[in-house]
Chain A
Amino acid sequence: MKRLYTLVSVLLCVIMLLSACTTGKVETSGNADASQATNSSNGSSTRTDINLTLSSIGNSMDPHNSGVTIDLQVQEQIYESLVHVDEKSQVTPRLAKSYTVSDDGLVYTFELRDDVFFHNNEKMKASDVVWSIERAMKSSQMATYCGPIEKVEATGDNTVEITLKYAFAPFINYLYMVKIMSEAEVTSAGDMFSSKVTHAGTGPYMLTTYEPSTKIVLNAFPNYYRGEAAIKTINYYVITDSSSALIAFQNGEIDFASIPTANWAEVEASGQYANELVLSGDIRYLALNVGQKGPLADKRVRQAVQYALDKEAIAIIATDGLGVPADHMIAVGMYDGAVETDWVYEYNIDKCKELLAEAGYPNGVDIGVIETATQRVVAEAVQAQLEAAGIKCKVLVGEAATMVVDWRAGKYDMIVNRFPPAFTYDYYRRYNDYKIDVVFMKYNLNKDCDHEYITATFDKAAATMDKTERDAIYKELEEYLMDIAAWVPLFYPQIPYAWNKNLNAYGYMTYYEVYDWSWK
């Protein structure tokens, strides 16, 4: 009996060791780089690699079929578009040397560079550009960005013409998301393209290792037309837990990281790292359903909610003091079309109670349920503030998959969510155009909201090519939407970044280019 017991335990140990050996790869683990990183301040040889972290597993390396930020950030190093648009909406040429727009705003003509190579050393031709854009047009993921495109054709060895269905001023911002790839490389890879190592990009880095659950490695492309990158290797490690990622960073295993807001004070105070706080347009908001058959259908109640919220307190709670209270859904000064308005809602409990009384609720009102999938803390803070102002409500935290279905059908009272950084004010249309049937805000269900006017104004602005005129139209629209008070902007987060003191890098809102970074 005892022998059997011993036998079994020995057997288990053997199995365990065998499995561990077969799964363990004895590559350089993150630990090995630790000593290297912490010693580089001694002036030892300059490093050529950089260790970064991904906060979730990768899904796909196909830029025409990716929506997850992690994937897009890695792809940003590998693929490029005809132009590059930075986070201040400045446009710089990339694969296209220059471009012109016809007077009616319908035809964009691009003059391509003639010294661009794909990572498989094949030269880029106009046909690749046309093929790539047409491929993107077929993808559901790219529908927003390719929507305005009527057709694209090569009108010369190095010229490509894109014709739009309608004049659309923000088009060039959207085009930035449509990456150009090698037709030959992608077609030969077939269905496996998005999940294995291929060389279809034109960017400064090419894919060398792709293990989306653990590690992705990029190497500098020698024939990059702007010159080979200073940092030769990018190692992306997947660390799903933010506290573990922070520890890895503080251990020196990671060179650049975004720091959880709870630990920012500690990291900044240590003085050991270069750091930066970046204001992001990734706004957190509270949406009030104008189509609700309850108190929220009344504009005065919605406006009361706007006055009831102490946004500063909410920001402090939700971001450990790193958030900036927001007055507008689209950040002023950050995006094209986002301009100052003549008035904003300030925190004023008296005005709130006044409006409630006017609307027939002098003793407070119950406005329903605040639903959220990912913004639990914000929702909790909002609920407490509303309670304090006499507005009762409950919080429901659920799964995105389940809730989105109801939200798109307009079946909710309130939502707390985040709105991703947009390129332009026009992006806001995706939340306000009643013609898009899955939009959360059903203005057409509320007789006090002129939904036709809203859609028409978005259209008018997009068709206006002159910036000053366009800004004026957007200002009018913003004030109208603010008056309806369906959207309550809460705060913009600031993202804390920290990195190794010997690295020349910078913080970013969504996308970064390792090409611009270097070691001292």
Chain B
Amino acid sequence: MYRYIFKRLLIMIPVLLCVSFIVFGLMALAPGDPASIILGGTAEQEQIDKLNHEFGYDRPFLIRYGDFLQNLIFNLDFGTSYRTRQPVIEEIAKRTPVSITLALCGITCAALVGIPIGVLSAVKQYSLLDTILTVSALFLGAIPPFWLGMLLIYFCSYKAGWLPSFGIDSWINYILPAASIGIIYAAQQMRYTRSSMLETIRQDYVRTARAKGAAERTVIWRHALKNALLPTITVIGSNFGALIGGAIIVESLFSIPGLGTLTITGINNRDVPQVVAATLVLAIIYCLVLLLVDILYAAIDPRVKAKFTK
């Protein structure tokens, strides 16, 4: 098992290299340059060229990429932002814990609500409860996230004055944003769990367990849930990874300084060092999360464990 984990960590390195290359390349393909944006549409070409030269932006893509790699590997330096002229890692270091917290809160809320309800719904399939829960989940899952966020701000912050609507001063500030994310992901979670449970319940071995006279509760929790959870855990892991960099709308609605808005600002400003560094950090977090998910896979499903420890 440990060999497997070590192997996975090693593989992360080429993955990260690929990510950095792709992102660097994509940014190079995109038209526009940082100096034009910083200086504005009416600045003289000479000034723009001069500023681009200061940034080193006028060199060919491969040379810039090589420089970036060299800096990263030997100096552990992620580069300097074109927009702020400061090391990019500073801003990223400040924002990463914020994004992680937000994503964790949202996903946990979604899982703790969605999974049990999904199981309940599957077990009581075709009942009125099942229909109500399923339709509610569908309903909630189709709500645009910013609409939900706005409603929450409007009712909980503006009308009722209970909760703050911006900033990250204390843990209270995270409640509304986490709810915006959590409610929508809970719906998705519930549906995945439900359908996965339904597939599992139909399997022969479950019928066998029932036939053998095992209590319904044991059948569900001990036998069925384990297998039903496999796809669900994948989804939770994927969502978490995506959320760290992807909760852009929630971040901008609630003025939360997270990695998502930082990346978008970077793209809009063609701030290549910032975008590449932010993406790398996101990639590292994402790979680690997936590793964790796969370890859980193995812990839950002995067949998978056997496969991995061959």
Whether B309 is near chain A, meaning CB under 8 Å from some CB there, is no
Of the 9-residue stretches A360-368, A396-404, A453-461, which lies at the interface with chain B? A396-404
Whether A341 is near chain B, meaning CB under 8 Å from some CB there, is no
A400, B168: Cβ atoms under 8 Å?
no
CA–CA, A65 and B111, complex, Å: 47
CA–CA, A52 and B158, complex, Å: 18
A1, B37: Cβ atoms under 8 Å?
no
Of the 9-residue stretches A242-250, A347-355, A484-492, which lies at the interface with chain B? A242-250
**A244: B residues at CB distance < 8 A:** 153, 165-166, 253-255
Of the 9-residue stretches A4-12, A149-157, A313-321, which lies at the interface with chain B? A4-12
> Among residues 3 to 37 in chain B, which have CB atoms less than 8 Å away from a CB atom of chain A?
30-33, 35-37
**A27: B residues at CB distance < 8 A:** 169
B48, A438: Cβ atoms under 8 Å?
yes
A240, B261: Cβ atoms under 8 Å?
yes
Whether A480 is near chain B, meaning CB under 8 Å from some CB there, is no
* CB contact between A24 and one of B42, B169, B221 (< 8 Å): that residue: B169
Whether A20 is near chain B, meaning CB under 8 Å from some CB there, is yes
* CB contact between A401 and one of B47, B111, B269 (< 8 Å): that residue: B269
Interface string of A359-379 (1 = CB under 8 A from B): 000000000000000000000
Whether B164 is near chain A, meaning CB under 8 Å from some CB there, is yes
Interface string of B38-56 (1 = CB under 8 A from A): 1111111101101100100
Whether B305 is near chain A, meaning CB under 8 Å from some CB there, is no
* CB contact between B42 and one of A4, A22, A212, A438 (< 8 Å): that residue: A438
Q: Which residue of B lies closest to A15 (CB)?
A: B104
Whether A272 is near chain B, meaning CB under 8 Å from some CB there, is no
Interface string of A386-408 (1 = CB under 8 A from B): 00000000000001111011011
B169, A29: Cβ atoms under 8 Å?
yes
**A22: B residues at CB distance < 8 A:** 97
> Among residues 1 to 44 in chain A, which have CB atoms less than 8 Å away from a CB atom of chain B?
1-2, 4-5, 8-9, 12-13, 15-16, 19-31, 34
Whether B85 is near chain A, meaning CB under 8 Å from some CB there, is yes
CA–CA, A441 and B98, complex, Å: 45
Whether A294 is near chain B, meaning CB under 8 Å from some CB there, is no
Give the Cβ gap from B204 to chain A, nearest Cβ, in Å: 20
Contact A67:B40 (CB < 8 A) given known A24-B169, A244-B153: yes
Whether B170 is near chain A, meaning CB under 8 Å from some CB there, is yes
Interface string of B83-124 (1 = CB under 8 A from A): 111100011001101101100110010011000000000000
Whether B208 is near chain A, meaning CB under 8 Å from some CB there, is no
Q: Which residue of B lies closest to A246 (CB)?
A: B158
Whether A464 is near chain B, meaning CB under 8 Å from some CB there, is no
B41, A67: Cβ atoms under 8 Å?
no
CA–CA, A15 and B240, complex, Å: 14
Whether B174 is near chain A, meaning CB under 8 Å from some CB there, is yes
Whether A205 is near chain B, meaning CB under 8 Å from some CB there, is no
Whether A100 is near chain B, meaning CB under 8 Å from some CB there, is no
Whether B265 is near chain A, meaning CB under 8 Å from some CB there, is yes
Q: Which residue of A lies closest to B296 (CB)?
A: A8
**B165: A residues at CB distance < 8 A:** 244, 247-248, 251
Interface string of A220-256 (1 = CB under 8 A from B): 0000000000000000011111011101101100000
B85, A29: Cβ atoms under 8 Å?
no
CA–CA, A441 and B262, complex, Å: 34
Whether A59 is near chain B, meaning CB under 8 Å from some CB there, is yes
A401, B153: Cβ atoms under 8 Å?
no
Contact A248:B166 (CB < 8 A) given known A24-B171, A60-B84, A401-B269: yes
Give the Cβ gap from B20 to chain A, nearest Cβ, in Å: 21
* CB contact between B169 and one of A26, A141, A401, A417 (< 8 Å): that residue: A26
Interface string of B148-174 (1 = CB under 8 A from A): 001001100110010011111111011
The size bracket of the interface on A is: 35 or more
Whether B194 is near chain A, meaning CB under 8 Å from some CB there, is no
**B54: A residues at CB distance < 8 A:** 140
CA–CA, A19 and B102, complex, Å: 10
Contact A251:B35 (CB < 8 A) given known A1-B221, A24-B170: no
**B269: A residues at CB distance < 8 A:** 401
A30, B222: Cβ atoms under 8 Å?
no
Whether A120 is near chain B, meaning CB under 8 Å from some CB there, is no
B94, A213: Cβ atoms under 8 Å?
yes
CA–CA, A440 and B40, complex, Å: 12
Whether B304 is near chain A, meaning CB under 8 Å from some CB there, is no
**A241: B residues at CB distance < 8 A:** 166, 252-255
CA–CA, A178 and B240, complex, Å: 47
Give the Cβ gap from B290 to chain A, nearest Cβ, in Å: 15
Interface string of B254-287 (1 = CB under 8 A from A): 1101000100010011100000000000000000
CA–CA, A29 and B170, complex, Å: 8
Contact A247:B158 (CB < 8 A) given known A1-B226, A240-B255: yes
**A143: B residues at CB distance < 8 A:** 43-44, 47
> Among residues 425 to 479 in chain A, which have CB atoms less than 8 Å away from a CB atom of chain B?
430-431, 436-440
A194, B45: Cβ atoms under 8 Å?
no
Give the Cβ gap from A356 to chain B, nearest Cβ, in Å: 30
**B94: A residues at CB distance < 8 A:** 213
Give the Cβ gap from A427 to chain B, nearest Cβ, in Å: 9
B32, A402: Cβ atoms under 8 Å?
yes
Give the Cβ gap from A437 to chain B, nearest Cβ, in Å: 5
CA–CA, A515 and B254, complex, Å: 30
Give the Cβ gap from A253 to chain B, nearest Cβ, in Å: 8
A26, B111: Cβ atoms under 8 Å?
no
Q: Which residue of B lies closest to A32 (CB)?
A: B169
Contact A247:B100 (CB < 8 A) given known A1-B300, A402-B32: no
Whether B209 is near chain A, meaning CB under 8 Å from some CB there, is no
* CB contact between A250 and one of B38, B51, B158, B265 (< 8 Å): that residue: B158
**A243: B residues at CB distance < 8 A:** 150, 153
**B104: A residues at CB distance < 8 A:** 12, 15-16, 19
B32, A431: Cβ atoms under 8 Å?
no
* CB contact between B108 and one of A13, A238, A399 (< 8 Å): that residue: A13
B268, A399: Cβ atoms under 8 Å?
yes
**B254: A residues at CB distance < 8 A:** 241, 244
Centre residue among B167, B225, B226 by max chain A CB count within 10 A: B167
Give the Cβ gap from B163 to chain A, nearest Cβ, in Å: 9
Whether B299 is near chain A, meaning CB under 8 Å from some CB there, is yes
* CB contact between A16 and one of B36, B95, B108, B168 (< 8 Å): that residue: B108
**A8: B residues at CB distance < 8 A:** 296
- Some 14 contacts from A to B, beta carbons below 8 A apart, are A23-B98, A25-B169, A29-B173, A60-B84, A192-B86, A195-B85, A239-B167, A244-B254, A245-B166, A401-B268, A402-B30, A402-B31, A430-B42, A431-B42
> 19 additional contacts, CB 8 Å, given A15-B104, A400-B37?
A1-B221, A4-B299, A4-B300, A5-B229, A20-B105, A22-B97, A26-B169, A26-B170, A30-B169, A59-B84, A140-B50, A194-B84, A213-B95, A214-B255, A241-B252, A248-B165, A399-B32, A438-B42, A440-B41
Which residues of A are interface residues toward B (Cβ below 8 A)? 1-2, 4-5, 8-9, 12-13, 15-16, 19-31, 34, 57, 59-60, 65, 67, 140-141, 143-144, 191-192, 194-195, 212-215, 237-241, 243-245, 247-248, 250-251, 399-402, 404-405, 407-408, 417, 430-431, 436-440
The 4 A-B residue pairs with the shortest CB-CB distance in the complex, in nearest-first order: A401-B32, A29-B169, A213-B257, A430-B42
